[in-house]
Amino acid sequence: MLARVRSATLSGVEAATVFVEVDVTSGLPSFNTVGLPDATVRESRDRVRAAIHNAGLEFPIERITVNLAPADLRKEGAAFDLPTAVGILSATGVIKPGRFERALVLGELSLDASVRAVRGVLPVALHARREGFAPLLVPAANAAEAGAVAGLEVIPIATLHDAVEYLNGEREIASVTSTGGSGRDGAGDGLDFVDVRGQAHAKRGLEIAAAGGHNVLMIGPPGTGKTMLARRVASILPPLSLEEAIEASTVWSVAGLLGPEQGLLTTRPFRSPHHTASEAGLIGGGGVPHPGEISLAHHGVLFLDELPEFSQRVLEALRQPLEDARVVVSRSAGTASFPARFQLVAAANPCRRGCASLPTCACSPLERARYLARLSRPLLDRIDLHLEIPTLPYAQLTDTAAGDPSAVIRARVLSARARQTARFAGTPALVNARMSGRQTRRHCPLPADAARLLGLAMTRLGLSARAHDRLLRVARTIADLAGSDALTAEHVSEAIQYRGLDRAR
């Protein structure tokens, strides 16, 4: 007696079809799983046996062999519990053939035969739609997540009995309606720039960063509002598009971070790992590659506070993802590619004690230089804006006059982004920060006075060719915010102001 059920496994953020082949034959009772399973998959035999018994169904006292094909593809996780149980019940005649022949099934079984949520349902749903598999049977807790994929029949399964009755045609279960068109505001959790006193220069820099998708580093003593400013960047970014929401939610689904009954992300991710984070935790890795913080911040903000306190190895590992917007993690168990199109917002103290700008600072100039030297020139070249955050005088702290709220700043950002959307239509670049070298030369021509100013800055600051291009892209964003088609010396001059660390070296 042989049965075959479709399921899926994950490779990075992509899903691949796995055929769960179940053979039940006479012989000494046994239950063996083959096909490169991990420990969790091998342990499924005990969960499946107990679930079938506790569902009041008969478990065959025979020789059971479960093959997960293709055999050269590593399988991990408990999502194969439900398809294995369905295969056994089909092989023994409890489930009749027919309805599950084009179905794709996944879910973890509890001992009481209830079906528990699993991670990675969203990429599996996208794979099922692409391959034309229907229906998709998923745990009821994952139904909203899978239902975010339009054009796919998603059947929520709460217990093993539900699966048996549905596949036998004894009971109809309403499919989940797609939530793909639900609203995505992106305005964050109520944080607003109107709460920030003073720091007009920093607010202007963050507005430019948001408008052009630029990376930014804020440098200032403790208590000057660096973290407060960083946490409000998401409130001025454009709302997530449907495509961006699906891509970001896919990474969160693979990491198992989408909550029960949660569909797509509705706000841009904001990730803030501690400076003790490991390279695998930030970049991604593990025995079987899993996404790191940079991928969880895909289409959102990655905030790295106390940037020089991160290990040198971790900081240098950021360079390639910042350039390519993708990270490839290679391990003995396989290679996985994860998206990492995030906006870096970093903060640093001017010295180890954080007192460099205060009259009482006890750090020597050499100590300050050594502290900031932990940030290598190649890394700083990939950060477009360096913002100095000074200590606020008492008058500004008590000033009741509020600056522009996030809604007003966001409107200016959206206007600048609209110009970029028209400019880069049909190309991979979506914002100025992602312009290629050829696009930079095409869209950032300089008049003679601006060219002379830039040349002087290159000579005095010792800027690299990469920093030169990034400076031009910042100037292009400043012009977009001003509604100008042409770059001027004023735009270039303001962009040069945001290379503070280059001036300090």
Nearest partner of 25 among 88, 102, 74, 107, judged by Cα: 88
C-alpha 158/C-alpha 162 separation (Å) is 6
Please report, for residues 67, 351, 423, 483, the alpha-carbon distance to residue 209 in angstroms, rounded to integers and kept in the order given: 52, 25, 18, 16
Q: How confident is the model at residue 181 (pLDDT cuts 50, 70, 90)?
A: very low
pLDDT of amino acid 451: 94
- Residues 279-304: b if buried by 16+ CB within 10 A, e if exposed: bbbbbbbeebbbbbbbbbbbbbbbbb
C-alpha 333/C-alpha 74 separation (Å) is 8
pLDDT at 177 over 60: yes
Three-class HEC string of 11-77: ECCEEEEEEEEEEEECCCCEEEEECCECHHHHCHHHHHHHHHHHCCCCCCCCEEEEEEECCCCCECC
Q: Evaluate whether 44 touches 81 at the Cβ level (below 8 Å).
A: yes
pLDDT over 90, % of the chain: 67
C-alpha 227/C-alpha 141 separation (Å) is 35
pLDDT of amino acid 350: 85
At 87 the three-state DSSP class reads: helix
Concatenating the DSSP letter of every residue in 401-443 gives -----HHHHHHHHHHHHHHHHHHTTTSS--SGGG--HHHHHHH
The pTM for the full model equals 0.89
Please report, for residues 417, 495, 501, the alpha-carbon distance to residue 478 in angstroms, rounded to integers and kept in the order given: 11, 8, 20
Q: Evaluate whether 105 touches 82 at the Cβ level (below 8 Å).
A: yes
pLDDT at 188 over 60: no
pLDDT tens digits, one per residue of 402-441: 688 999 999 999 999 999 999 999 898 889 999 999 999 9
pLDDT of amino acid 200: 86
Instruction: State the maximum Cα–Cα separation within the chain, in Å, rounded to a whole number.
Output: 89
Range from 58-72, 138-152, 391-405, 469-483 carrying the lowest mean pLDDT: 391-405
C-alpha 429/C-alpha 153 separation (Å) is 34
Residue 225, both tokens: 């509002």
Pairwise pLDDT comparison (359 vs 195), residue with the higher score = 195
Q: At what angle do helices 489-497 and 448-461 cross, to 10 degrees?
A: 20
For strands 63-69 and 14-25, give the pairing.
Answer: antiparallel
Q: Which uninterrupted H or E stretch holds 504?
A: helix 500-504
For 125, half-sphere exposure in the C-beta direction (CA atoms, 13 angstrom radius) is 35
Q: Evaluate whether 7 touches 83 at the Cβ level (below 8 Å).
A: yes
C-alpha 167/C-alpha 86 separation (Å) is 9
pLDDT tens digits, one per residue of 209-242: 999 999 999 998 888 889 999 999 999 999 999 9
Q: How confident is the model at residue 358 (pLDDT cuts 50, 70, 90)?
A: low
pLDDT of amino acid 179: 56
Residue 56, both tokens: 């009041």
C-alpha 66/C-alpha 261 separation (Å) is 31
Bridge partners of residue 398, in order along the sequence: none
pLDDT of amino acid 502: 63
Q: Which domains does the chain have, with CATH numbers?
A: 2-167 (3.30.230.10), 193-504 (3.40.50.300)
